[in-house]
Amino acid sequence: MNVMDSLVTIFVFMFLLGTVSSKLSPKYYQKSCPDVLSTVHDAVSKALSDEPRMGASLLRLHFHDCFGCDASILLDDTTNFTGEKTALPNADSVRGFDVIDTIKSQLEIICNNTVSCADIVAIAARDSVSILGGPTWTVQLGRRDSTTASLSDANSNLPSPFSDLSTLISSFSNKGFTAGELVALSGSHTIGQARCTTFRSRIYNDSNIDTAFANSLKNSCPSVGGDDNLSPLDETPVDFDNTYFKSLLQNKGLLHTDQELFHNGSTDALVTSYSTNSKKFFSDFADAMIKMANLSPLTGTSGEIRSNCRVINGS
């Protein structure tokens, strides 16, 4: 082998080594922080015991952090950038930051500067679903944290609760998701609550809504005022089950986007299937969550491991 061949071989080996080392793995912290999973699980269990609604909030935090899953949503505003917390889909809505802070503080004690905030968010979402009776899945680990955030990206990447089905399908397709995966991920609305401002137009203007259901919501969500008043997304807001899909069959979807999934469209059949087959929903939801969490993460030497999830290192 001549010198040039040797150099090429070395470069190829180094490239492959870098590629492999930057991949996510469920065993990423096996040696560097072996107690990471139990630490996160215990903290999430306590948070949900104190407030069951927090499970939906932690799951939603993960959704809104992706597509990218880089903990950018956790960053506070700075003089250099406006963060994502004040984006229209997030302002006065996304929560759970204190729980992530608590977990991060605990992990910094047992394995300093090792576990990323992005991985904490991903694990906390999985544990929230499982604790509330839903499926579990293997979380791939090794994400790194972003060193910036983008208000404009958050506003443009997250679909509006007023979107129609074609817009939803297009939005998810742009990120590599099928219409079926859109339906499965929308099943996350089987837990949690929504603010009046997100469903007011539906209960007062939509025609594909059960009349009694709409009327029952108008006391807590008047036509004017009460924007922050909450209503459950389905009848079992702290149980991860398939009640959400059963509600859609009765035209009782709380959000306009919820009912769009069952409104004489291409996703009707899958909604019907999930309404009678929770096992299939759980399996498809878990698979879609794994796919979502693996969308363009920062790995290897990209980004950083934040010491405080709210600020970049050195701030």
User: Which tens digits make up the pLDDT trace of 168-191?
Assistant: 999 999 999 999 999 999 999 999
From 41, 62, 64, 263, active-site residue: 64
pLDDT of residue 156: 86
**Is 311 strand, coil or helix?**
strand
Considering all CA atoms of the chain, what is the largest pairwise distance in Å, rounded to the nearest integer? 82
pLDDT of residue 62: 97
Q: Give residues with Cβ within 8 angstroms of 144, minimum separation 6.
A: 70, 116, 118, 297, 298, 299, 300, 302, 303, 304, 305
pLDDT of residue 22: 59
The DSSP H or E segment spanning 193 is strand 193-195
Q: Give residues with Cβ within 8 angstroms of 255, minimum separation 6.
A: 161, 189, 194, 198, 199, 202, 233
Share of the chain above pLDDT 90, in %: 84
Averaged pLDDT, 213-237: 97
For residues 212, 216, 222, 223, the Cα torsion angle rounded to the nearest 10 degrees is -10
| CA 272 – CA 291 distance, rounded (Å) | 23
User: Which tens digits make up the pLDDT trace of 34-90?
Assistant: 999 999 999 999 999 999 999 999 999 999 999 679 999 999 999 888 999 999 889
For residues 208, 210, 216, 217, the Cα torsion angle rounded to the nearest 10 degrees is -20
- pLDDT higher than 70, residue 2: no
Averaged pLDDT, 276-304: 96
**Is 52 strand, coil or helix?**
coil
- Its pTM stands at 0.91
pLDDT of residue 89: 87
pLDDT of residue 65: 94
pLDDT of residue 3: 36
Residue with tokens 């104190």, as numbered in its chain: 50
Q: Indicate if 263 belongs to the active site.
A: no
| CA 247 – CA 157 distance, rounded (Å) | 27
Name the nearest CA neighbour of 109 among 35, 52, 4: 35
- pLDDT higher than 70, residue 19: no
DSSP class of residue 25?
Answer: B
User: Which tens digits make up the pLDDT trace of 142-162?
Assistant: 999 999 998 888 888 888 899
Residue 159, number of CB atoms within 10 A of its CB:
15
pLDDT of residue 85: 93
Name the nearest CA neighbour of 282 among 55, 51, 126: 126
Asked if residues 162 and 96 have their Cβ atoms less than 8 Å apart, the reply is no
